[in-house]
Structure 1
Amino acid sequence: MIAAYLARQNAALARWRGRPRPFSWLFAPSMNAVEFALRNTIASLVALGIAFWMELGEPQWAAMTVWITAQGSRGESLSKGRWRLVGTVLGMVGAVTLVSAFPQAPWLFIPALGLWAGLCTGLATLFQNFRAYAFVLAAYTCAIIATGALNVPDHVFEIAMARGTYIFLGVVCEMVAGLVFSASLAVKARRTMKAWLNEAIGAASHLIGDVLDGAAPPEAAIRAVFSRTLKLNEQLEFTVVEVGRSDHAIACAYATIGILSKIVSRGLGMQARLSTASAISPATLTDLHEAASFIRSLPTRLKDKTMRAALRAELTQLRARFDGASRLANESSETRLRPEEIQRRSAEDRIILHGIRLILEEYTTLLLYLEADPREALAPARFRLRRVVHLHAAFHNAIRSAIAICLAGLIWEVTAWPQGASFISFIAVVVGRFATTDNTVLVSNRFFYGACLAALASIIPVFFVIPTGTGFEALIVALAPLMFIGGLAARNPATATAAGAYNTFLPALIGLDNHARIDELTWFNATIALVLGLGAGVLVFRCILPFNIHQLCVLLRRRALHGLMRICAPRRRIPAENRWIGLITQGMERVIRYAGARLTPFMELNLHGLLSVMTLGRNLLFLRMMARRPALPSELAELIAGFFTGLGPHLLRSAAREEAGFTRKIEQSIAILRDRLDTVGEETRPAYCEVLGSLMVVDHEWRNNQTWLDDRSFRRALQQARLEGV
């Protein structure tokens, strides 16, 4: 009885400990969060003090720049600071140009400002990371400077230079604080990079091991590995800033990520090979389990640098074991399988063994680039993942930004609101700031909530603390605790977006000045302009070309099928495999980022379809590349050429006819290869097995993905999703 009571108490305590605590980031922050908040609070106050000492007109911009530039890693902060300076200069040039061109013509100035904002946000969509941020900053910096100089157009150059001074001061203070708080930056960056790569290799190897053991991994796990590789590919840009662009290890790290994506894609193909095999011999099953065990052990063994040479040698031996040609050529070798045993194996066994060998070849290349030996003749650019440009999204962002600026100008013109210039500036901030995000409605809402919290928090220093003192010390007492809390919130993923708005707008709402403090009426007018401007920006994303997940899925499908048609067109140039994988994985990442943990059946259908078409396209690419081999038997080359003849886009053929013709060609080619496989010589049989294996994977993915590939089936699924509102 006592034991049962204690068990219930322990269970209740465990449930209490496991409950989510929404404010744990504030009451029990990590040391990393404390260091981040303390570092940037000090840097922002120092920047503010220097701005006061220099008697700059709007010193709050120096403190705001520190918080805008501050990021989780030094590489991110340095990169953002550098591109912030570039964006500020572009915005200054744009503002001076617009005000000089249209000083007394508001309805020439406002459309021109809208066109500038549209151009910048459209270009931002075509870039990634903080290069995109530079264009975003150019958009709203131009709006802030230009609208602030409308009353005094003769002084637009001085206003622009003052803004540049604030930005430069804030960036320098943040960089100095970061250097003080961090040491051995390059060494830590390389160590972190290697840890990231080992984690990614571990996740991918576990997945490949499951495939080889016959335990098909869930698609969520596959998508998670692809998402990890994409995120790591983006994060390496900041490691480049910390280590140096010329570092050979960085280039090889990019290649390692691309090879890792290929390995996971090979695993999907292997899963299809195993699914289509009617019977697998016990010897082949043993080989599968042996390869799975070796691949699973790789991440642990890679941690020991002294083991890498031995690991590569062992991998080479394992590849030779599965290489049928080498075993037939050397009958007295020490491999476990003998030629007479190979003769008894079925075509399915040969295809599976070839699939294992392909995966092991990719792992051999992976280890080569992971080691990054400068003495090796490596070509990292060949394997690096390439980003896909989204022209459709860029056009939408450009149109949305231009319309939003023009509507804000119309409101200002009609109402003659004294805060109308600030209203336009805040709308420009919102439409520019979130032009490069996918779920713009959700993110802009959080940003708006953070600005509202900044307005509430500013009441304490404006109304109670600052009036009691006249020195900079009183300002430190008022601002430091609020800034520190904002820094802690910025390191919590759930509150990071809101904290970004809070930290950005808090110094602006306090109304800092050398010779006067903000009065209640001015604070109220500024706060109303901020809240209404940001709120209007949120409405812009809801009303003007709003983001639609169904439209995104249709666009991604159209782009993937167009890429598939290009692969099949024999007269077209063969696309690079890393570009094909990058196109599909980046599309999946966009859907996952939008959905988060709330994946609907229609999103699942599209993610499954994209995974399937990636495997299908990669095997078609393999067939086209194989047809170019000089040593390929002529009859096999003719068969591959006949398979691709007539495929590709054609204006006079319907989609249904294209699908029927593709299905018929797959069936005919597989039947011909199966008939010839028993009659060809042993020297050409491996090539026949390679082609047959790829065609079997293509057939499997084509037949099992018709709901997504077939136009009518996809339209029905789309209509059902729209009716259900999911």
Structure 2
Amino acid sequence: MPATARTAPSPWSLFLLDPQKLLFSLSSFIAAAITLGVAFEASLPRPWWALLTVYVTAQPMAGAFRPKVLYRLGGILTGAAMTILLVPNLQHAPELLVLCLAAWTGFCIYLAVLDRTPRAFLFQMAAFSSAVISFPYLDDPADIFTTTISRVEEMAVAIVSVSVVHGILQPWSATPVIRDRAHAFLVHAARWTREALGRRHTRLEYEHRRMLAADVTELGMMAIHLPFDQRPASVGRLVVLGMQKQLATILPLASAAANRLDMLSALAPLEPALAQLVDDVRAWLAEPVAEQCASGGELAARCRRHAAQSEQPATWKGLLRASLCARMAEFIEAQVEGCRLAHQVEKPSAPVQVDVAKNRREKSFPLARDHGLAMLAGMATAAALILYCTVWILLAWPSGSATAAFAALITCSFAAQDDPAPVLGRYLGATLLTFPLAAFYLFAVLPRVDGYGMLVVTLAPALLAIGYVQAMPAWSARALPMFSCLIVALGFLDRFIADFATFINVGMAQVGGIIATIVIAKLFRSVNVRWTAGRMVRGHWSEIGQMASLARPFRPAQWTGKAVDRLGQIAARMAVAEGSDTLHAADGLADLRIGRNVIAIRRAALRLPAPMYEAVREVLEGISTLFQARARKGELLPPPASLLASIDKAIAAGSRVILPEPAHVALLALVGMRCNLFPHAPAPRMVSDV
């Protein structure tokens, strides 16, 4: 099981060689050597750009790179086509050309930030390939077609080389990673639920919800790799999608059971039979995942029998007991089904039932996308490029075009982050530290090198060392600026040229591009983490309000998945947010449970008895009004007393008669709604209490 807490690596860990990281570095170096040899043999004008592309696109998981090859190549071709379309036609209007290039780059970044799948690499590559091709030649665009073709050839050679070499030396399959992630999720969910049912869950909530929600989302990202798996396909994407949907329901069901248990315990000590059932569920959760699958069906049946016995006569305590047992049964069934699907991933010969037709229709797991944040990233990128080019043109700086290209590359690389300035600061520090190494190579080592073979041997120590750093997750962000500084400063060409003025000028262009990017990030992108989380919370509230409105179309199919994904994003940001404010007071799990209760009520609404239907209408209108108001004001507004009265009225109407299954589900959803919105309200007056 993965560690639940990560600590910062010790600097001494750099001296403890990991074979897997060393293999990654060696694979990247071999790809770089092949790329450099092809570039020299084909007389490509900028071999250094091909070499840099190798390390920009290389990733520690070779399999994670494989499905992105086509996206990256497609992005390069798209960016090149846009360059050929814009530059020759607007070369006599440089201001308009800069505006168009900036707008195009910003639009691509908007799509990349919005997408959040490997397909985003297509948009990202389209953005900075057009930037790095166009900006260095804006002052002399006459030969832009030949230049564009050369850049495409250099980048394509690098991407193909690194993909082939990593695929051969690092054979990687998505299936074991998906299996391990699913198993880790089930273990985390079982541990969290066991502690929640033991009434010790409050302090664990933020960390666990972040881990569990992130595991669910990442399963979908990994499933995209399955068609590109180097080994024979052992698990279908539809099976992973079915498992992903099943796991997404575990978190709200487990938290709902814990919530009902808290409510019951606050009223009175648990009855011996119920206490024994809860203890048995907790003991079942302590078993290994494989054993849970074998004994879970019988335990879920016990919970359902206890739920049926608890509802007659209809009292508030009885409804709470029924809700607790029903949610425990649903959680156990979801956990067992998740175990079975994870077993299908591990042993594909095992029979398993998956709703293939439904999964084919839905294609993929839903992700929560924020158009506002994506637009902010795109507009900031466009504004940054306009400012770069304005300063470069006004200063008439000879290396200004290179600065604009470097700045565009860096801006596009960090566009998805809420506040890239701290990372860019480390980027600048790594660049400055690499300059002495670049100067040593350029003026002391390379003048004594003769031929391609000796060049590769000479570069091996530096490239292997930095490549090893790139394979370390905690240090990988520093590797790219080190590669960029070293490779660009050396300026690999078919003939060696060591000019100190050129070296200083190129170095100033790199540093200037980074500093300009930091300044722009401070001006446009230093978004407070709590502000970003606040936008997501308001979006969550708005969706619940819209879903509860009977006047709006009811589309609940993908809501739970999107809500779990958004919950993970919010929790990750709130984990690093300082202070105690409204956002920390907002309970994402409670909102998730309320949304699922709204879905259950609306699905059953048309089959409810007339008195209960009218009361339920009032409840849904109150929920819609409350959550729309929360979304507008960005505050955790308390629910009004009128909503409590409406919920109690609907519960009373539903408890008067024995309800069929859809209406019974709605009754338990109303119980859950009351527990989540009014946890401290006195027990309602039931018909059986009169």
Matches within 5 A, 1:452-531: 452-531=432-511
Matching residue of 2:624: 648
- Give CA deviations for 1:452-505 in whole Å, capped at 9, x if unaligned: 333332112101100122322342243211111111111222211111222244
Instruction: Map Cα deviations across residues 212-263 of structure 1 (whole Å, 9 max, x no partner).
Output: 3443352122332222322333233234432699976322213212321211
Alpha-carbon distance in structure 2 between the residues aligned to 1:413 and 1:605:
45
Q: Per-residue displacement from partner, 1:409-440 (whole Å, max 9, x unpaired)?
A: 11122111110111111111122111122332
Deviations 1:322-375, CA, capped at 9 Å, x for gaps: 2239977xxxxxxxx9x9999998333222222222223323543454455476
Of 33, 46, 52, the residue aligned with 1:64 is 52
Matches of 1:128 and 1:641, distance apart in 2: 37
2:359 corresponds to: 380
For residues 546 and 344 of structure 1, the distance between their equivalents in structure 2, rounded to whole angstroms, comes to 50
CA contact (8 A) 1:143 1:425 kept: yes
Residue 401 of structure 1 contacts residue 432 of structure 1 at CA under 8 Å; is this kept in 2? yes
Matched ranges for 1:473-622 at <5 A: 473-576=453-556, 578-583=558-563, 585-586=565-566, 588-589=568-569, 592=572, 594=573, 598-602=576-580, 605-606=583-584, 608-622=586-600
Q: What's 1:664 paired with?
A: 642
Residue aligning to 1:305: none
Residue 496 of structure 2 aligns to a residue in which SS? coil
Match status 1:216 vs 2:201 = yes
Residue 506 of structure 1: SS of its match in structure 2? Answer: helix
Counterpart residue number, 2:348: none
Amino acid at match of 1:282: P
In structure 2, relative to structure 1, the CA distance for the partners of 1:355 and 1:380 (3 Å cut) is same
Contact 2:246-2:334 at 8 Å conserved across structures: yes
Aligned 8 A contact 2:597 2:672 in 1: yes
Give 1:688 deviation, angstroms. Answer: 7.1
Residue equivalent to 1:701: 676
Partner SS state of residue 701, structure 1:
helix
- 22 and 362 in structure 1: CA distance in 2 versus 1, 3 angstrom threshold: closer
Contact 2:118 2:221 in 1 (8 A): no
State the distance in 2 between where 1:248 and 1:700 align.
Answer: 41
1:680 aligns with 2:657: yes
Q: Deviations over 1:103-138 (max 9, x none)?
A: 232222222221122121122121124322222222
Q: Could you tell me whether the CA contact under 8 Å between 1:458 and 1:506 is conserved in 2?
A: yes
2:80 paired with 1:92: yes
Distance 1:130 1:449 in 2: 29
When structure 1 is superposed on structure 2, of 319-328 and 43-52 the one drifting more is 319-328
Counterpart secondary structure, 2:236: helix
Q: 1:120·1:138 contact (CA, 8 Å) conserved in 2?
A: yes
The alignment partner of 1:576 has SS state of coil
Query: In structure 2, what residue type is equivalent to 1:428?
Result: A
- Matched-pair contact (CA < 8 Å) for 1:52–1:59: yes
Q: Counterpart of 2:243 in structure 1: which amino acid?
A: T
Deviation of residue 506 (structure 1)? Answer: 2.3
Q: Distance in 1 between matches of 2:431 and 2:50?
A: 18
Which has the larger displacement, 557-566 or 469-478? 469-478
SS state at 1:458 partner: helix
Structure 1 CA distance, aligned partners of 2:551 and 2:394?
Answer: 59
Two-structure CA RMSD over aligned residues (Å)? 3.5
1:659–1:58 CA distance, 2 compared to 1 (3 A) = closer
Deviations 1:569-599 (A, max 9, x none): 012222325424424542542562x566x44
**AA partner of residue 611 (structure 1):** L
Correspondence for 1:200 among 181, 185, 188? 185
Q: What are the Cα deviations for residues 258-278 of structure 1, in whole angstroms up to 9, with x where unaligned? A: 321211111111122112222
Residue 605 of structure 1: how far off its partner (Å): 3.8
Confirm or deny that 1:170 pairs with 2:158: yes
Separation of aligned partners in 2, 1:408 and 1:367: 54
Q: Is the 8 A contact 1:568 1:644 kept in 2?
A: yes
How far does residue 653 in structure 1 lie from its aligned partner after superposition? 9.0
Q: Which amino acid aligns with 1:89?
A: L
Return closer, same or farther for 1:529/1:705 CA change in 2, 3 Å cut-off: farther
Q: Give the distance between the partners of 1:387 and 1:109, measured in 2 at CA.
A: 35
For the residues of structure 2 that align with 1:430 and 1:416, how far apart are their CA atoms? 22
Instruction: Give the secondary-structure state (helix, strand or coil) at the position aligned to 2:624.
Output: coil
1:639 is matched with 615
The range that moved more, 91-100 or 350-359, is 350-359
1:246-395 equivalence runs, <5 A: 249-277=236-264, 278-279=267-268, 280-301=270-291, 311=294, 314-324=295-305, 346-367=318-339, 369-372=341-344, 373=351, 377-378=355-356, 379-380=358-359, 385-395=365-375
Q: Which amino acid aligns with 2:32?
A: S
In the TM superposition, what is the alpha-carbon distance from 1:19 to its structure 2 partner? 11
What displacement does 1:152 show? Answer: 4.1
By how many angstroms is 1:317 displaced? 2.7
Deviations 1:373-396 (A, max 9, x none): 476554336696311221111221
User: CA separation in 2, counterparts of 1:83 and 1:60?
Assistant: 23
Separation in structure 1 between the aligned mates of residue 287 and residue 458 of structure 2, nearest angstrom: 56
1:704 CA displacement: 6.1
1:140 equivalent in alignment to 2:125: no
Which residue pairs with 1:29 in the alignment? 17
Which whole-Å CA distance do the structure 2 matches of 1:504 and 1:564 have between them? 47
The verdict on how the C-alpha distance between 1:577 and 1:271 changes in structure 2, with shifts beyond 3 A counting, is farther
User: Which AA in structure 1 matches 2:89?
Assistant: A
TM-score, structure 1 normalization: 0.83
Instruction: Name the SS of the counterpart of 1:487 in structure 2.
Output: helix
Deviation at 1:603, TM superposition (A): 7.0
Alpha-carbon deviations, 1:47-96, whole Å to 9, x = none? 11221122211111222121112112222111333222111111111111
Once residues 701 and 650 of structure 1 are traced to their aligned partners in structure 2, the CA distance between those partners, rounded to angstroms, is 14
Contact 1:69 1:81 in 2 (8 A): no
CA contact (8 A) 1:673 1:688 kept: no
- Alignment of 1:413 onto 2:393: yes
Q: Report SS of the residue matched to 1:601.
A: coil
Query: Residues 231 and 375 of structure 1: is their aligned pair in 2 closer, same or farther, counting only changes over 3 Å?
Result: closer
Instruction: Give the 3 Å change call, closer, same or farther, for CA 104–690 of structure 1 in structure 2.
Output: closer
* Residues 108 and 127, structure 2, Cα contact 8 Å, conserved in 1: yes
Corresponding residue for residue 236 of structure 1: 223
1:295 CA drift (Å) = 3.2
C-alpha displacement at 1:555, in angstroms? 1.5
| Percent of aligned pairs sharing the same letter | 19
Q: CA deviation at 1:641?
A: 3.1
Q: Which residue of the partner structure matches residue 347 of structure 2? A: none
Tell me the CA shift for residue 100 of structure 1: 0.9
Q: Which amino acid aligns with 2:296?
A: L
Stretches of structure 1 that go unaligned for 5 or more consecutive residues are 1-17, 303-307, 329-336, 707-726
Q: Which SS does the other structure have where 2:201 is aligned? A: coil
CA–CA distance in structure 1, aligned partners of residues 585 and 149 of structure 2 = 49
